[in-house]
Structure 1
Amino acid sequence: MTLLGVVLAGGRSVRFGSDKAMAELHGRSLLSHAIDILGAVCDDVVIAGHDRGIPGRTTVPDVPRRDLGPLGGLCGALLHAERLGYDALLSIGCDTPRLDRAVIERLLGEAGPAYLVEAPIIGHWPIALARPLLAHLETSEDRSIRRWADTMGARVIHAGVSIPNLNRPEDLDALRIRERD
């Protein structure tokens, strides 16, 4: 199975107050950490919805338009992967600097779509979902990854471990403190 990784990084970072993707943890951007997580298991990694990515890293636009939330980035990445002949996509958010390898293996463990109940943005998406997602975004106002994934028959995976949720600068500070101990 050929697997493309996508870091969903198109949010406005309103709660964070600045570009969350470029915030630093241990001297590297959160975006770089997320790319490394996916790079360890995927054939290639792209960035969705973020125009100031990493040099040499492909950036794909949200589809069918901007400001659709993570589903727009996921749709753009699925269509990009479809054009390149990938079988599936593994997605995480730019604010996911840590993700246990065993959790990723559970997401990829069976055929079909799957997402983490604790963070639905983290998921495994067969390329066959590209066109259904595009149709959904063109005809529905519902932007919930969880509800869309459930209509596609996605498996719900429980991480069983803590997944950092970095929505505010204080969340990033707390992670820095935990990792220092």
Structure 2
Amino acid sequence: MKISGVVLAGGKSSRMGADKGMLDYKGKKLVSYAIELLEAYCDEIIISTNSPLYGQFGFKVIADSFLSKGPLSGIYEGLKFATNDKVLVLSCDMPNLNKEAIEVLIAEIDEKHDCFIPSVNSKFQPLFAVYNRRLLSAMEQHLLADKLKMMTFIEGVSSKIVSFDSLLESYPLLFQNCNRPEDLSLS
């Protein structure tokens, strides 16, 4: 199965105070963790951001056509430019995700559902998920109507929720986000 990878790097980074994808984390740019992880599973990588700085990584960089609409807009743009039907989306601020997490998620892909969303302790993780390009029209409708909450979108389409509770036992920081400067010192 061919999968496109989309790195979400276009957030406002208001809590971080700087473009978090470009900050150093354990010796390399935070966005590098997402790129390196996706490279092993995706035959193309797209970086969704409004910053031209991300061109240095050598992948297609796309800007939001729906400005200030949050992650739904970045996912929409990624789906729009992806060449494969299945699109693995990964936020740039989750450096502890690993190959096991990707493999668990990819193993759940089927043709009956349009998105595959990890769940940890009954909390959804829509910024590390697989979306089908069939969702483009539905996403566009949500964006035009200013329905921007990811959960509202996910609940309105054919979603498969994948429990990651057992994997979290082995990797307790798996879904740790780097949102604040102090998060960059977590291991």
Q: Same fold (TM over 0.5)?
A: yes
Residue in structure 2 matching 1:114, options 101, 106, 116: 116
Q: Report the CA distance shift for 1:50/1:31 in structure 2 as closer, same or farther (over 3 A).
A: farther
Q: What fraction of aligned residue pairs are identical, expressed as a percent?
A: 31
TM (norm. structure 1) is: 0.87
Give matches, 1:141-156, under 5 Å.
141-156=146-161
Match of 1:179 in 2: none
Query: What is the TM-score of this pair, normalised by structure 2?
Result: 0.84
SS at match of 1:117: strand
Distance 1:60 1:158 in 2: 31
Query: Is residue 62–residue 74 contact of structure 1 (8 Å, CA) maintained in 2?
Result: no
Partner of 2:10: 10
Aligned AA for 1:89?
V
1:37 equivalent in alignment to 2:41: no
CA shift for structure 1 position 47: 0.5
**Structure 1: distance between partners of 2:119 and 2:64:** 23
Equivalent position SS for 1:99: coil
Match of 1:164 in 2: 176
Deviation at 1:54, TM superposition (A): 4.1
The equivalent position to 1:58 in structure 2, one of 57, 60, 66, is 60
1:131-179 per-residue CA deviation (whole Å, 9 max, x = no partner) reads: 221122112x22111220121121122223232211101111123xxxx
Q: Aligned partners of 1:99, 1:8: CA distance in 2, in Å?
A: 14
Per the alignment, residue 49 of structure 1 pairs with 49
Q: 3-state DSSP class of the match of 1:148?
A: helix
- 1:7 aligned counterpart, secondary structure: strand
Contact preservation (8 Å) 2:5, 2:42 = yes
* Consecutive aligned runs of 4 or more in structure 1 exceeding 3 Å deviation: none
Q: Is this contact kept in 1: 2:50–2:64, CA < 8 A?
A: no
Q: Show structure 1 runs of 5+ residues with no match.
A: 176-181
1:96 to 78, 94, 97: 94
* Residue equivalent to 1:174: 186
Structure 2 contact 6–88 (Cα < 8 Å) conserved:
yes
- Extract unaligned runs of 5+ from structure 2: 169-173
> Residues 39, 70 of structure 1: CA spacing in aligned structure 2 closer, same or farther, 3 A cutoff?
same
Aligned length in residues:
170
Structure 1 residue identity aligned to 2:132: P
